[in-house]
Each structure stands twice: as C-alpha cells, then as structure tokens.
Structure 1
Amino acid sequence: MPSSIQVPMVPVVQAFRSDLPTGVVSFPQGRDVLQVLWCPFHHDFPASPWPVVFWRDSAAVGAVLPTPAPDSAADAWHVPAPCVVHPERVAEYPSLDLPEDLAEAWQEDFHRLEEAAPLLSYAAHLAEAPSTKLGGYPDWFTGSGEADCEQCGRPMSHLVTVASWECDGASWRTWLPIEDRDEDGGRAIPVDPTGLDIGGVGAIYVFECLACPDRPFTHWYDSD
C-alpha cells in the first residue's frame, strides 16, 4: 500500500481490564482499556495487516463516534466480523518455545502420552491454546519466532494473538469450550467466527516490552 494513502484503521480487539481475569494483561497505570487496530492491507514486510496498540482510560473517553467503514479496497479477509467475547483463563504450556533441554528430557513423557491417548498430542492439545487470545504463549503456526525490544534489547512479552481460526481439526478436542459443542460433543459452531484469513490459517502475534516506560510493541506474521 503506498505510504501517501491514509485509510481508516480496523478495530480488531478491545478488552476492558474489569472483564479480564487478574494478571492476564499488565495494564499501564491509569489505563483500563486495551485496543488493537490494524491497517487491513497487505504490506511488503511482513506481508500482513499491520497492527497498532492503544491503552486508554475509559473515564476520559468522551462521545464515542461511529466506527468508520473500512476502505472499499481493503482486503475483506482482514476485516473481522463483530464478535462479543467472554474471556476465561486457561492453563497452557510452551511447545515450540519449550527450552531445548526440557523438550529433550520430556520426549519419553510425550511419547507415552500419545501411546495412552492416540487422539491427543502435547503440542495440539496440552500446550498453547489456539485462537485469538491475550497473554500466554504464542501458538506458532510454522515455526518459533522471537522479538527483542529495539530500545533496551530485552526479550518482549507476548501481548495478544489474532488468529484466523479458533481451533482446528485436531486442537478442538481439548480447546473448544463445552458451550460451543453439540449434544454429541462435536463442534457446534464455525471455527472462524470472525471471518479472518491471515495468510490462510495463520495469525498475527503482538509483543510488547514491559521494561520500557512507553511500552513499545512489535508483531510477527505467521501463515501457511
């Protein structure tokens, strides 16, 4: 997209501190609303929608204006359908980000798990939660990435994942909420309620630096 063209940013995630389980996100002092927006066009590097992060004080917000319509030339698969979310805390563990010594030490345990429960695997069912989420570990699609702060050099923390799908043909067995299953325990809802298509079934991972006062952020793009 030419830099001289200005288009409305698309709202992607909005979360109030009061609606989130304690400790999931570290809000800056005096802020209680997290907003993630992005430019819905492809970019040369990375070839993805380009996210920005805003921390706001809900008490300081005046009249809320209507959300501007996305640019008519925007990629439709980068404009999410409106969804109401009901956040809940889940326990998860790293797989691709698991330290090498632990991954090697636990290989026998993973093997025994898959022998005892052939439909389950550590990476798909017991490690990172798939889907759009706040905090936790990135559920890398093609391979582990990393993000270091350009200001202080420290590793940045995962803030939010915006995913194309909430789960896939394997991970839904443990990660699909009970209320989203049919009477036989199968999937009762689409796995892509937002209609997003980030490079197929990929995701955008947003990271922030908690060590720097201005909370700089960056992102990774992962696709098939």
Structure 2
Amino acid sequence: MQRASELALELVRGANPEFDPGSPSPLIPVAQLYYREVPGLPWPEKFDLLQILWCPRDHSGTETDTPYCPAFQVFWRKAETLEGVLIAPPQPDLGLEHYTPNPCVVSPEVVAEYPNIHTLPDDIKIDIDAWEERSSDGIDYSSDFAHAPGWKVMGHGMYWGIYDPYPMTCECGAEQLPLFTADTGENNGGRESWQPIEEAGGEESYEGPVGVSIGRGYALQLYYCPESEQHTGRSAMA
C-alpha cells in the first residue's frame, strides 16, 4: 500500500517535474511589522522591522510543543538593508490551505491585556471570582480583560484553552515571552470588550478575515528569548 507521503510527493512531481524534495522549501510570509507602527517590539535600538514566516505544513520535532502546526521563522531587520521586493516570490510546492493566510493590510491598535488568571496568586483569584459574581452584565476577567482575541503582537499571550499555562524556557535558562499570536478567528465570538475601534458599537460577530485555522479553532503562540534575538524561539498551541 502506497504511503501518504509517497503519494503526496508523486502528486507534487506530477504538477512540477522540477520539484526537488531535498532543496529548501519557500516559506509563506505571515506578518511584516514596522517598529514605527507597532510600539514595544524588542530591541528597537538594533532593529526597525520584524518579519515572521512559516512553513504551511504540520511539523514535528521542531521548537513547537504541538506537533501538528506550521513552523515559524523570525527575522529581525533594519529596513534600510532590504533590497527590492520580488515581483514573483517563490511559492511552496506543498502546503495546507488552512495555513495559507489571506493577504491583509493591518491597522494596528494598542490594547491593554492582563495576566492569565491561572498565573495569579490565590488571593487575587478569589477577589476576581467575587467581582465576577457581583457583576450583573456577565463580565468575565479572562475573556473581557486578560486576553485580547485574534492576531496580535506581544501582550500576555493566549487564552490557553487546552491546558493551563506553563513557563516557556529557552535553552539558555531564561523565560521566553510572547511575541506573536496567530489565531483561528477574531473578536472572541463577539465580545464587545475587544471590538476594533472602527467597529465599536456595531453588531457582534465572529470573524476570520485571515483565513487561517489552527487545530480545532485554537491559536498558535510564538515566544522569543529576551536575552538575545539569536536564541531560537518556541511555539505552543492553546
């Protein structure tokens, strides 16, 4: 019986006879962020542009803690060193459609997030629970205050809906910090707390304009080491 990997390779070679499985595979651009538009990015004294790409396939044995996700690559740059933009950039010969983002132009909006409730001291958790019980409009700390849904940079990271949060530790021993979140959708099912400015007061909705699906509707978080941009980042799905 023909294995799935052999069948996939046969199909790719049929569409592109020049395909070489041993050569590097082109990556898909996921985000290009200029420091002038996104405040708070690391090492502003050295860089003014952050480029994030990924391979649109499920990976295992990489820095991700979840084996069925695309693999990130991060590039910290000075914009003045970049050469001309390719008119026809190379495309991967094999990739998954739900890991291929729709082209988007972003209008960054700065929001305030708060720590995951599972990482807070017990006395503060008790106070938050009491506050939520007194609330008459169903406000929830985690959904309405702690974690902005959707695609974002920095902040306190994901909701961690699959399992409780745990420290992401670099090989150097430092705790890695959230850098970038790729989410399956936007606006957390219509939470008014996180409506974009241009949509404030409008009808609640659940949108997915980027067209990416992570797992069964989850998010993929990329972490970086604050000690050095040369240290390998890690990722986790939650």
TM over 0.5: yes
Instruction: Tell me the residue number matched to 1:71.
Output: 92
AA in 2 matched with 1:194: V
The answer to whether the 8 Å contact 1:17/1:27 transfers is no
- Matching of residues 107-122 of structure 1 within 5 Å: 107-122=126-141
Amino acid at match of 1:185: G
2:156 to 107, 114, 137: 137
- 1:11 shift after superposition: 0.5
As a proportion of its length, which structure holds more helix? Answer: 2
Cα displacement (A) at 1:96? 4.2
Residue segments in structure 1 that go unaligned for 5+ positions in a row: none
- Where structure 2 has 5 or more consecutive residues not aligned to the other structure, the ranges are 10-20, 62-66
Separation in structure 2 between the aligned mates of residue 213 and residue 134 of structure 1, nearest angstrom = 16
Superposed CA offset, 1:45-88 (max 9, x none): 52100001001111011111135354353110001001111112
Aligned CA distance change for structure 1 residues 128 and 168 (closer, same or farther; 3 Å): closer
- Map 1:172-187 to 2 at 5 A: 172-181=191-200, 185-187=202-204
CA contact (8 A) 1:145 1:220 kept: no
Larger Rg: 2
Structure 1 residue ranges (4+ consecutive) displaced by more than 4 angstroms after TM superposition:
none
1:7 to 25, 38, 41: 25
The residue number in structure 1 matching 2:208 is 192
Deviation at 1:36, TM superposition (A): 0.6
For residue 148 of structure 2, give the secondary structure of its aligned residue in structure 1: coil
Aligned identity (percent) is 29
Aligned AA (1:15): L
What do the CA deviations read for 1:100-144 (whole angstroms, capped 9, x no partner)? xx2443323333334323421011101121111111111223221
Q: Which residue of 2 aligns with 1:17?
A: 35
TM-score normalised per structure 1: 0.84
What TM-score results when the alignment is normalised by the length of structure 2? 0.80
State whether structure 2 residue 186 is matched by structure 1 residue 166.
yes
**Cα 1:161–1:103, aligned 2, differ >3 Å: closer, same or farther?**
farther
8 A Cα contact 2:28 2:92, kept in partner = no
Counterpart mapping for 1:22-37 below 5 A: 24-27=40-43, 29-37=45-53
Deviations 1:138-187 (A, max 9, x none): 1223221331111x2111111111111122225x2210114125xx6313
Distance 1:76 1:83, change over 3 A: same
Q: 1:41 is paired with a residue of what secondary structure?
A: strand
- C-alpha distance 165-114 of structure 1, shift in aligned 2 (>3 A): farther
Q: Structure 1 residues 176 and 70 mapped into 2: Cα distance closer, same or farther (>3 Å)?
A: farther
- Contact 1:114–1:121 (CA<8 Å) still a contact in 2? no
Q: Is the 8 A contact 1:162 1:204 kept in 2?
A: yes
Q: CA RMSD in A?
A: 2.4
